Amino acid sequence: MSIRIMYLGQLADIAGKDESEFTSSSGEIDWPDLVELLRNHVNPEISAAVDDARTLVAVNGKVLSDKTHLDARDGDEVALLPPVSGG
């Protein structure tokens, strides 16, 4: 089992990919874990971009009101959402 990270919009450009999968020995990833995983396993730019106040986070299709309360478990899909462009 792992946790799937989806990069939306310009975050996919910054990450250089559309998604990543991370496994954690505890089966859980919190916000500091995610920022660090991105910095160490993707690149520092994406880590900084998701920490930006305008970047929102959704877990399994639900947007978190406070992304720093992230508590992702094995099998979850975490979407990293930059400001929308609209249609």
Partner 1 sequence: MHRDIRLLTQPFIPGALIGPFTNTCEGLGGVCTFVGEVRGGGGVEKLELSHYEPLTMNGLQQLADAAADRFDLMGLLMVHRIGQMHPGEPIVCVSAAAAHRRDSIDAVDFCMDHLKSAAWFWKRELRDGVWHWIEPREADHADLLRWN
The least distance separating partner 1 from the CB of residue 6, rounded to whole angstroms, comes to 7
Q: Which is nearer to partner 1, 53 or 84 (CB)?
A: 84
- The conformation of residue 12, written as its DSSP 8-state character, comes to H
Tokens at 49, concatenated: 């971009």
The least distance separating partner 1 from the CB of residue 4, rounded to whole angstroms, comes to 12
Question: Which residues, 6+ apart, have CB-to-CB distance to 76 below 8 Å?
Answer: 3, 4, 59, 60
Query: Which residues would be at the binding site for partner 1 (CB under 8 A)?
Result: 6, 8-10, 12-13, 58, 60-61, 63, 79, 81-87
